[in-house]
Structure 1
């Protein structure tokens, strides 16, 4: 039995940027979603993200996907980029940003299960313990937001987002064995954009009436949390087991709670703060490595 290889500084930097960018996305959606409908916001965000990603791909060449890889790209694009974004945008019309982030972050639990089953990553002891601790934190924050005016529709939409997020990550992990991370991200984002085209009319109508701040927010969501953060995520995912990397997104909800209290004046309950600390503890536990057994010395030859 050997311990996992240490994570390099570039991978850690990519994960840190992704987590911060995705946390800010919940705030951006909550703000821009007041003026842009869920489908229109998803289309605008993905269209901007696709343009940026295509520009980043210029001059890097193209690796032709196989038929199976096209199928996985479709799963990732339709699920994680298309359905996920529409469901998440709709959920934040029913729930506050912090509660939404907590509920969506049952995703890493699903990622670990799917990765263990279909990617053969197994279920290391400390990963399972970390998942259990972090999930307890998610439950605490969910209880804290129970009286905040949220409803069942918002909870169900968060569950849809969590499931499509988990399936998308596992599909993406399989693609990254051969295809470049940036190409995978750009292609999946383009697929998601095509899926959201039925909301093109709504996007035009909403943009005509929306204030400049909401338009800027939509562009920000497309450039930073989508184009850049999904690229850094794919870079890290290509070099890290999906189950272990998925647990790092448990850092997102506490950041969202903090950001929402500062920027949206959504003050978290004391129980939500406790839940955030428990989530972070789960992340720390999941990163613990198994000790490397010391081989017994061979008997001396006499």
Structure 2
């Protein structure tokens, strides 16, 4: 029964997180990146509030409020603004491949800040992933545009990797729910700079765009984290569970083809293959080591 529940939660997580890339791409062009992020995470903040209230272990992290502000800035504000801006230019599939490189950046920053050893497989994985990033960045007709969009998505990946490093200690100290809740609320606080824009745009934005943002706020931005945490709880190995996320870009490609009638070019797919291969080798080498 637990094994079945594990796979159900894992599949739901992959589908929901994959749909986020497609949903973001769908809304871009109808609303500005900052306004979209603020509306989405206001909804997410409200969605997770009942879970926090009902939790027996809820805390106010007074001593580490600065760390949570930094965590929210990196993992939710900067990540989502950069990703939204990037997906104005690159397709959802390309964005998902590039975001997959966050595992590589996490490894690099862990070696720098946490003194974790990369090893030979780690460096091989990094090299392969950067080759893939380079191929993707130069794989469109309009090289300047694809470079600009790819750079923005890479900024999102880097900020997310730094967020994950911060979260390692925060989760140990406060638990996954408290860490998630206070990080989301902190990130949403920074997004309030876009409130004047959102007030102006909400009057004219399409109802279908609003519906997509509501979906993004409720499901990928909040509920997916709970299914992911539940999958980790039921799993024998966090590393093996994380490996399943390699299927996310494939899910994105199928969904963007069905919903948006878009798909990455063959060269972008090749670059994506190198990124995922690099991530796999780096992760496997770390596990075996």
Q: d(CA) in 1 for partners of 2:143 and 2:238?
A: 33
Greater shift in the superposed pair: 195-204 or 58-67 = 58-67
State yes or no: 1:23 paired with 2:21.
no
TM-score (norm 2): 0.82
SS of corresponding position for 1:167: helix
Structure with bigger gyration radius: 1
Normalising by the residue count of structure 1, what TM-score does the alignment of the two structures yield? Answer: 0.79
Q: 1:271 matched to which residue of 2? A: 267
RMSD: 3.3
Q: How many residues align?
A: 283
Out of 247, 259, 262, the position equivalent to 2:258 is 262
For residue 32 of structure 1, what is the aligned residue in structure 2? 27
Number of the residue aligned with 1:164: 159
| C-alpha distance 211-123 of structure 1, shift in aligned 2 (>3 A) | same
- Counterpart of 2:107 in structure 1 is 112
Deviation of 1:15 (Å): 5.2
Equivalent residue number for residue 284 of structure 2 = 287
- Structure 1 residues 188 and 12, CA, compared in 2 at 3 Å: closer, same or farther? farther
Distance in 1 between residues matched to 2:121 and 2:172, nearest whole Å: 25
**1:16–1:128 distance in 2 versus 1, CA, 3 Å:** farther
Q: How far, CA to CA, are the matches of 1:195 and 1:220 in structure 2?
A: 21
Change in 2 beyond 3 A, CA 1:163/1:88 = same
Residue 261 to residue 211, structure 1, CA distance change in 2 (3 Å): same
Shift of 1:218: 0.4
CA distance in 2, matches of 1:252, 1:232: 15
Larger deviation, residues 256-265 vs 116-125: 116-125
Contact 1:38 1:86 (C-alpha < 8 Å) held by counterparts: yes
**1:43 maps to what in 2?**
38
Shift in Å, 1:55: 1.4
Tell me, yes or no, if the aligned pair for 1:104 and 1:158 is still in contact at 8 Å: yes
Q: CA deviation at 1:203?
A: 1.6
Gapped regions of structure 1 (runs ≥ 5) = 1-7, 292-302
What whole-Å deviation, never above 9, does each CA across 1:6-37 have from its counterpart, x for those lacking one? xx887776555433322211110111122111
Distance in structure 2 (CA, Å) of the matches to 1:240 and 1:185: 22
Aligned partners of 1:153, 1:278: CA distance in 2, in Å?
A: 20
Partner of 2:185: 190
Q: 2:248 aligns with which of 252, 258, 267?
A: 252
Match in the other structure for 1:150: 145
Give distance in 2, aligned partners of 1:226 and 1:188.
12
The DSSP-based 3-state class of the residue aligned with 2:153 is helix
* Stretch deviating more after TM superposition (235-244 or 16-25): 235-244
Q: CA separation in 1, counterparts of 2:67 and 2:264?
A: 39
Q: Which moved more, 1:104-113 or 1:81-90?
A: 104-113
| Matches of 2:51 and 2:213, distance apart in 1 | 20
Task: Provide the residue aligned with 2:222 in structure 1.
Answer: 227
- CA deviation map 1:217-238 (0-9, x unaligned): 0011111111122344566789
Task: Give the number of the structure whose residues are more often helix, by fraction.
Answer: 2
1:177 alignment partner, SS class: helix
Larger CA deviation: 110-119 vs 81-90: 110-119
CA drift at 1:280: 4.5
Gaps (5+ residues) in structure 2?
none
Are 1:53 and 2:48 matched, yes or no?
yes
Choose 271-280 or 158-167, whichever is displaced more. 271-280
